[in-house]
């Protein structure tokens, strides 16, 4: 992948190129920022530029043997680590068990995010993670000599998914790696990475994609009228994946919206029997889908709180689809300063307990009963 394929991010591209041309490549870099900003794509393009044998001042050549292998993600000195799931076939999975699926995911899919990745590998309801035996494999690979390139490059996607054992095994390697070794860690939530890993990495903040670049890319790729293009760009808010969701009307987003409407109506009406049926439905989903719903719920409460408190500024502040806005115009009146903070607290607590493998039926039943009280709480 060349830098020319990246949407926007001109300043970051210039920064990465400068580190190579001045010989100041930090051995462990943590690329973090909002989802859909192009972090993983930037890391791969950066790695290709580092390894290119005929690089220019602005990009890798795209034609040398190294670039040809990078374009297919088969360069022997490029290594990937990413969250995997336990399956019937792999009880102790490592990234290499899913290498073919990973290449297909990167090369053929446009939305490089966890839920899409889990759709490719089939999570079977389990949580994705980077497990302790993965770290042993990383150490083994990086202790080998390079095959062709000057640098061995290890791209770790979503290091926040490392469990404690996995992260602790890597500390020495990240602190004192073999010569000409480059770690590129790609994170959506760097605060969830253990401190010892974070402290050994150089933080590189990747900003959201600027609206002009995002709008230009969408306009060149899809046939869309100006009004719709402006709406998509606004809703995306610098997130390319969100722009694609709006374009495709993502099935996952639709399902989350359906679940949200049902939960809000049943909670406000205090229909406890129907709420238990709702809990039964969401309990049939995998852990990652449940967490996805809870994140979506947080977003919807945020948007409704803004809509209720700043209705005249909704065009500037809100990021709702047409269906979401139609629902929220009435629902937002129930979201105010007297309940929003407690609602956020309860949803975040539910997300934490799901992540820690708590009993999902109990967690969601507790959440729904809390929402029954909170949604009926009067504004101050």
Residue 64 maps to a domain = yes
Output the pLDDT for position 317. 59
Mean pLDDT of the chain: 88
197-240 pLDDT per residue, tens: 888 899 999 999 999 999 999 988 887 778 888 888 888 889 99
| The pLDDT value given to residue 124 | 59
User: Considering the domain boundaries, does residue 253 fall inside one?
Assistant: yes
Per-residue pLDDT, 287 = 83
Is position 86 within any domain? yes
Task: Evaluate if residue 125 carries a pLDDT over 60.
Answer: no
The answer to whether residue 137 scores a pLDDT higher than 90 is no
86 vs 370, which has greater pLDDT?
370
CATH at residue 124: 3.40.50.300
User: Range of 280's domain?
Assistant: 249-375
Task: Look up the CATH number of the domain holding residue 332.
Answer: 1.20.272
- Does residue 380 lie within any of the structural domains? no
In this structure, are residues 16 and 46 in contact, taking their beta carbons and an 8 Å threshold?
yes
In this structure, the answer to whether residues 234 and 115 fall within a common structural domain is: no
- Quick: pLDDT tens for 35-89: 999 999 999 999 999 999 999 999 999 899 999 999 999 999 999 999 988 777 7
| Spatial separation of the C-alpha atoms in residues 365 and 139, rounded to whole Å | 43
Helices of type H across 176-271 = 195-198, 211-221, 226-236, 240-248, 251-269
pLDDT the model gives residue 128: 82
Residue-level pLDDT at 123: 60
Burial class (CB in 10 A: 0-12, 13-18, 19+), 77: buried
Per-residue pLDDT at 315 exceeds 70: no
Predicted confidence (pLDDT) per residue in 338-360, tens digit: 999 999 999 999 999 998 889 99
Q: What is the pLDDT, as a whole number, of residue 169?
A: 80
User: Which range among 5-14, 243-252, 275-284 shows the weakest confidence by mean pLDDT?
Assistant: 243-252
Whether residue 262 is predicted with pLDDT greater than 90 in this model: the reply is yes
Inside any domain, residue 232: yes
The arithmetic mean of pLDDT across residues 286-315, rounded, is 83
318-343: pLDDT as tens digits = 677 778 888 998 999 999 999 999 99
Q: Where a domain ends, among 218, 248, 278?
A: 248
Same domain, 154 and 236: no
Between CA 258 and CA 260 the distance in angstroms is: 5
- Residues 217 and 354 both lie in one domain: no
Statement to judge: residues 243 and 254 lie in one domain: no
What's the first-to-final CA gap in the chain, in angstroms? 54
Q: Which of 229, 248, 267 is the last residue of a domain?
A: 248
Quote the CA–CA distance of 92 and 112 in Å, as a whole number.
24
């Amino acid at each position: 992948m060349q830098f020319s394929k990246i949407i926007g991010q001109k300043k970051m591209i210039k920064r990465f190129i400068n580190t190579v041309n001045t010989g100041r490549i930090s051995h462990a870099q943590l690329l973090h920022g909002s989802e859909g900003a192009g972090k993983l794509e930037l890391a791969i393009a950066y790695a290709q530029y580092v390894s290119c044998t005929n690089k220019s001042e602005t990009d890798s050549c795209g034609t040398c043997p190294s670039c040809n292998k990078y374009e297919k993600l088969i360069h022997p000195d490029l290594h990937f680590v990413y969250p995997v799931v336990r399956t019937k076939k792999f009880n102790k999975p490592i990234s290499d068990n899913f290498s073919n699926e990973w290449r297909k995911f990167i090369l053929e899919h446009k939305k490089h995010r966890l839920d899409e990745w889990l759709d490719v590998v089939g999570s079977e309801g389990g949580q994705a993670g980077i497990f302790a035996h993965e770290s042993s494999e990383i150490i083994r690979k990086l202790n080998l000599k390079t095959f062709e390139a000057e640098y061995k490059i290890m791209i770790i996607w979503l290091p926040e998914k490392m469990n404690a054992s996995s992260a602790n095994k890597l500390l020495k390697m990240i602190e004192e790696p073999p010569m000409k070794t480059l770690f590129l860690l790609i994170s959506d939530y760097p605060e969830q990475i253990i401190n010892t890993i974070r402290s050994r990495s150089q933080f590189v903040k990747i900003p959201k994609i600027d609206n002009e670049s995002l709008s230009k890319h969408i306009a060149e790729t899809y046939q869309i009228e100006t009004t719709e293009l402006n709406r998509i760009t606004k809703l995306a808010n610098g997130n390319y994946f969100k722009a694609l969701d709006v374009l495709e009307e993502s099935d996952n987003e639709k399902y989350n919206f359906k679940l949200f409407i049902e939960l809000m109506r049943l909670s406000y009406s205090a229909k406890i029997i129907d709420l238990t049926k709702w809990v039964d439905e969401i309990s049939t989903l995998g852990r990652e889908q449940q967490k996805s719903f809870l994140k979506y719920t947080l977003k919807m409460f945020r948007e409704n709180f803004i809509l209720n408190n700043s209705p005249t500024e909704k065009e500037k502040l809100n990021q709702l689809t047409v269906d979401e806005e139609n629902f929220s115009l009435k629902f937002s009146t129930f979201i105010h300063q007297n309940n929003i903070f407690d609602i956020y607290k309860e949803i975040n607590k539910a997300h934490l307990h799901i992540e820690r493998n708590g009993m999902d039926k109990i967690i969601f039943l507790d959440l729904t009963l809390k929402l029954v009280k909170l949604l009926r709480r009067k504004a101050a």
